[in-house]
Amino acid sequence: MAEALGPPRVVIIGGGFAGLFAVRALGRAPVQVTLLDRAEHHLFQPMLYQCATGILSEGKIAMPLRDLLKRHRNVKFVIAEATGIDVERRQVLARRPLGEEIEFGYDYLILAAGVRQSYFGHDEYAAIAPGMKTIEDAMKIRRRVFGAFELAESATDPAERQRWLTFALVGAGPTGVELAGQIREVATKTLRREYREIKPEDARVLLFDGGSAPLAMFGAKLSALAARELGKLGVELHMGSIATSVDPRGLQVKDHDGNLTRYEAGTILWTAGIEAPPLAAAVAKATGAETDRAGRIVVGKDLAIPGHPEILVTGDVMNLDKLPGVAEVAMQTGLYAGRRVVQMARGHGVDKPFRYHDLGSAAYISRGHAVVSAFKLHFGGFLGWWVWLFIHIGFLTGYRNRIGAVFSWWFAFTRDLRRERTFTIDDMAAARPYKDPADPLSGRLA
């Protein structure tokens, strides 16, 4: 219940799209808002692959949360990781960066914690095959991708050189397709004249997926278009292939007939699967909520956990009507949750259920080629690429980021310049999950 001596307390967990759009709805409401996030910035995740491949800097796809919230005088931001909730006392349990345990009282709770990469029970793969969910992930992938060319340049054994020039990606969804296309463009355009011992264009990019086609969620027409463009770009598609083991020197995959094949690769990237963070399991246990196979919390049409109208779940960590984990869902659910809290705080009844308005999806394949599915229209090629550009410019947070992205794209797309590809040798020496004494190269690149 609301405190008698102050405005209702609202705690929002997560500073992604869902959390920020909830703040927008609550910014001028008679409530006191506390936003918790373990990072100090809001991240535009759909552009992480461009940060990883040297087109955009991390500053162009991230904005400090304190800067974004400075005009909302009723909103306080706290860096802390939420670890659970006490339903009876209406307290959010959290941990500060230095380990201090802290609690935040709430009258209304909005869970917008997002999801993380899933390795389907093989978390040991994470150190070898990084996913792409955070700025740290993008920087790690950047040094592995560009570092691989350096190691290939210095290798004297032809087989070892080819291994470093082989990039394996697991997962042919939007992230996998976009990243695979960008690595081939880096190899065939950006780096083609920079090396003396190797030909960067000889780099192999292998894309594995258990499904029958890339971008299957876009429908058969656009999926076929994506496969055709990836083929022209030089990406090797291995559909119907499931990774069964991953190690520092490569991976093994199994096809639909059960045949196992080993691929030597110097760089392995994981773009398949998501799962809810541990917080979701803690909230579900505390409230008795149902979760799906990925650990996401099942909610009602009002986004509330059944039996707990004061707890709303939004964005990727929410399971409702099989809605996709895209930015538009996060934005719309965040805005709905914020408005619903305002109405409840004012004592108004809320009968209108959440209704999602599908504004479409888009995926970048290569320069001049993208696929777009919007308003029952499905198209790709050059027109799709222009639509992709406008969509992502509109979604970027902050005018400076939008202008900066446009200039970076201009140089990247017209002159093949990627200025944001700095990495250090010290970073490349990060620890492997294990060091094989029989393998002198084990642990060299992280």
Contacts of 444 (CB under 8 A, 6+ apart): 151, 428, 429
Q: How far apart are CA 377 and CA 124, in angstroms?
A: 41
Q: Catalytic annotation on 328?
A: no
Q: Are strands 9-13 and 32-37 parallel, antiparallel or unpaired?
A: parallel
Helices 399-415 and 381-395: angle between axes, nearest 10 degrees: 150
Q: How far apart are CA 27 and CA 373, in angstroms?
A: 33
Task: State the catalytic residue, choosing from 178, 185, 310, 328.
Answer: 178
Q: What one-character DSSP code corresponds to residue 172?
A: -
Q: How far apart are CA 351 and CA 353, in angstroms?
A: 6
Question: Of 271, 400, 299, 375, which is closest to residue 18 (Cα–Cα)?
Answer: 299
Environment class of residue 46 by beta-carbon count within 10 Å: exposed (0-12), middle (13-18) or buried (19+)?
buried
Q: What one-character DSSP code corresponds to residue 217?
A: G
Contacts of 258 (CB under 8 A, 6+ apart): none
Known catalytic residues?
Answer: 178
